[in-house]
Amino acid sequence: MKIIKIGLSTPLLTCAGALALALGMNSGVALAEGDETLGTPAITIAQGTDFVSEGVSVQDGPAVVELNVPPGASIQQVLLYWGEIRAGAAGANADKLKVDGTTIQGVPIGNTDRSHNFRADITAQGFVAPGNNMIELASLQADGGVQGAAVLVIYNAGSVAGSGNPFGYGGSALGARAKVGSITTSVVSAGPLPASGGVVEPDPVNSTRIGSLGAASTVSARTVGTGSQTRSTAAVEDLGISLAGVGIGASAINSEATATCTSAGARVGGGSVFADLSVAGLHLPISFPPNTVVLNLGVIRVVANQQSSSGNGNSKSITVTGLRVTSSLPLFKGTDVQIASATASISCESAIASSQIRIRDGSDFDFRNFAGPLAFTVLQSFDIAPSAVDRTYSPTFFVTDGDRLRPDVTEFYIDDVLQLTVNDEINESDGHSTDVDTFGPITVPAGATRIGFRPTSAISPGSEGLLPDSMNWVFAAFKLDGMPPPSRLYSGRATVLNAAVAGLSNVAVSDTGELPALGGDLSDAVADVAVPSLLGSITGSAATVGAGDQTDSSASVEQLDVTVLGISVSADLIETSASAVCTGAAPSTAGSTNFTNLVVNGIPISVDLPTEISLPLGATLFIDEQVVSASGNSESIQVNALRLNVPNPVSGEPDLANVVISASRAGITCN
């Protein structure tokens, strides 16, 4: 699937978005699924918080479509679509498709003189489950008449009713999984994360085999849902595997996936980093752009930092896999190795309350050089209730028979007026003559009452003299965002002490945890708590509050007297404060630190703040460390009164110590 980002002023399209848009539009007249148009499906379409669709070409043989459904989501409906290009009547077995070896009987949804399209509801067969799905699709025809197929999944990933939490979480993490032939070996699997959130973290595994391929020294996985974010991580150390004579090794592979609710809706991100990665004897960098093919010899295919995302608007999911290894050799057919894979998803309830998934399907063929109905597509238009604020939608189209070397134009309308055109995006993004494209997000201005769209066989600017594209439009689907998000989103945390010292367990003292994105009041206090790793005790308090136009966080420590790896720090009082404020739609932040009788290694400290002090062991003490992060209408500040860092003299090894005393963070998003 291809995602094409769009705004009314900046064209942006995706394979899934294009499909969603076409499915959801009416053309004024209620045209049922049929010939030379798209119409309302003759079956009941389930509703949910969102949908995902992916496609693949089956024209040249069986192919695998990969679908990512948020872990913990509830599958509402799974629809399978495919299209045949053939003049005259449909060919033999055109109405059948194999799914993971099972023959599925389809029903015709439209025919033209050139195209024949089919649909099947495969919900009950259980081919799709929450999480990552790899589904093999195959045509029963030998002549390639059936070009492409697509799977559309409607799911519910909303928050848990009655939980009081406006977010629905989903996450999983996998240290390693190796499928070779009929044998699958999984090493450390975390999840699925409950929709109500929490932490899923199985014990790491040491000195483990990864099927018959090799081994790793340590494998771990973790998924956490709290506040306005889901975060999943997976790590593998000292990897050494071999497939088809190709060796793959790394001293470390770490992957992270995050899904966050913001004032602009759901956002996803993540990536993978590597240490000492080698493939077939080649030493490779520590990081890669998403979906980098590092080896493709025909024997095996290795992809680094593989990323795939799904959803739109207020419910999104992302899967990040450090290494994905597959093989096309008959001996290793079906081999699929995943190393350090993390999935995170989130649903933002406040923005999905009135969303509705709409689908149109049928058979609408278009080639500009033909005559009559075959020479154009029917504009799909939808009546919508007006809103007092701008909204967005991201339609998804499924189109076959497209050609990446021939031009086309996709049109988008608001209130029956052409507002946006996107050029040359029907370009075989999902294989030979197959496109599942999502366009968006497309802005629907406040007060608008009608939206519309269609792909067309047309000459785009700069392609004069070329033969225009031909296309078989099978379906379109979209979800118009509902209720606007809150005008303020908060973030904050305060901690009296957080210590990571080599050879000892990490310690957090008086930690408020993350402030909910919709605000709240969190606090914690301790008195004379012993911290063995610091050879001392701690008394202090921490608080974070988000309400109105402001977030405030603070932390204080009294009578501090600790020693870290021979470095002593004491003070009668240490205080930090951090604040983030909205003035209209403009955020701003401020922070401060206060010390009384600060002494380091027996020497009183009285300096202008902020400052850094060099200490024995190559250590650095950061005093009044302040870091501001800003993006658009969001801003946050982190204030650390003291941060002691002791590096490891062995290059590449974790720090010997990293201790933060009296830390306050405050952030806000101003809508």
Residue (of 153, 137, 158, 473) closest to 310 by Cα position: 153
Q: Residue 42 pLDDT > 50, yes or no?
A: yes
3-state helix, strand, coil in the chain (%, to 5): 5, 60, 35
Q: What is the pLDDT of residue 486?
A: 64
How far apart (Å, rounded) are the C-alpha atoms in residues 373 and 378? 9
pLDDT digits (tens, 9 = 90+) for 44-101: 888 888 899 999 999 989 999 999 888 878 899 999 999 999 999 999 999 999 999 9
Q: What is the pTM of this model?
A: 0.51
Q: What is the pLDDT of residue 9?
A: 34
Once rounded to an integer, what is the mean pLDDT over residues 8-30?
A: 33
Q: What is the pLDDT of residue 535?
A: 65
How far apart (Å, rounded) are the C-alpha atoms in residues 629 and 284? 31
For residues 496 and 532, the model is more confident at 496
How far apart (Å, rounded) are the C-alpha atoms in residues 595 and 626? 15
pLDDT digits (tens, 9 = 90+) for 483-526: 455 678 888 999 999 888 887 667 788 888 888 777 788 888 88
Contact 260, 347 (CB under 8 A): no
Q: Residue 159 pLDDT > 90, yes or no?
A: no
Contact 659, 625 (CB under 8 A): no
Q: Residue 640 pLDDT > 80, yes or no?
A: yes
What distance lies between CA 23 and its chain's CA centroid?
23
Residue (of 362, 313, 372) closest to 22 by Cα position: 362
Residue 257 one-letter amino acid: A
Which of 470-484, 615-629, 645-659 is predicted with the least confidence, judged by mean pLDDT? 470-484
Q: What is the pLDDT of residue 327?
A: 80
Q: In which band, very low, low, confident or very high, does the pLDDT at 458 lie, cut at 50, 70 and 90?
A: very high
Beta bridge partners of 523: 543
How far apart (Å, rounded) are the C-alpha atoms in residues 482 and 497? 42
Q: What is the pLDDT of residue 412?
A: 96
- Helices and strands of the chain, counted as H and E runs: 1, 49
Contact 485, 508 (CB under 8 A): no
How far apart (Å, rounded) are the C-alpha atoms in residues 17 and 582? 34
Place of tokens 């291809």: 2
Contact 66, 306 (CB under 8 A): no
Q: What is the pLDDT of residue 163?
A: 38
H-helix or E-strand containing 631?
strand 620-631
Q: In which band, very low, low, confident or very high, does the pLDDT at 23 lie, cut at 50, 70 and 90?
A: very low
How far apart (Å, rounded) are the C-alpha atoms in residues 512 and 623? 22
Q: What is the token pair recorded at 377?
A: 């597509």
What distance lies between CA 419 and its chain's CA centroid?
29
Q: Residue 106 pLDDT > 90, yes or no?
A: yes
Contact 299, 246 (CB under 8 A): yes
How far apart (Å, rounded) are the C-alpha atoms in residues 339 and 178? 8
Which of 440-449, 493-502, 530-539, 591-600 is predicted with the least confidence, judged by mean pLDDT? 530-539
How far apart (Å, rounded) are the C-alpha atoms in residues 349 and 49? 9
How far apart (Å, rounded) are the C-alpha atoms in residues 249 and 236? 11
Q: What is the pLDDT of residue 310?
A: 79
Q: What is the token pair recorded at 383?
A: 């009546």
Q: How far is CA 98 from CA 76, 101, 124, 151, in A?
A: 22, 5, 15, 13
Q: Residue 220 pLDDT > 90, yes or no?
A: yes
For residue 18, the 8-state DSSP code is H
Q: Please, what's the b/e burial string for 279-292 (b: 16 or more CB within 10 A of its CB; e: otherwise)?
A: beeeebeeebeeee
Beta strand segments in 512-549, E: 520-531, 536-547
628-632 own/partner pairs: CB under 8 Å, 24+ apart: 628/589, 629/667, 630/587, 632/264
Q: What is the pLDDT of residue 370?
A: 94
3-state secondary structure 221-245: EEEEEECCEEEEEEEEEEEEEEECC
For residue 618, the 8-state DSSP code is G
H-helix or E-strand containing 139?
strand 131-139
Q: What is the pLDDT of residue 1?
A: 59
Q: How far is CA 27 from CA 51, 169, 269, 442, in A?
A: 22, 37, 37, 19
Phi, psi of 20, rounded to the nearest 5 degrees: -65, -40
Q: Residue 28 pLDDT > 60, yes or no?
A: no
Rg (the chain; Cα; Å): 28
Task: Tally Cβ neighbours within 10 Å of residue 662.
Answer: 30
Instruction: Name the average pLDDT for the chain.
Output: 86
Once rounded to an integer, what is the mean pLDDT over residues 331-337?
A: 75
Contact 374, 113 (CB under 8 A): yes
Beta strand segments in 415-457, E: 417-423, 434-439, 442-444, 450-456
In the chain, the N- to C-terminal Cα span, in Å, equals 31
Q: Are strands 2-5 and 434-439 parallel, antiparallel or unpaired?
A: parallel
Q: What percent of the chain has pLDDT over 90?
A: 56
Residue (of 460, 371, 452, 372) closest to 424 by Cα position: 460
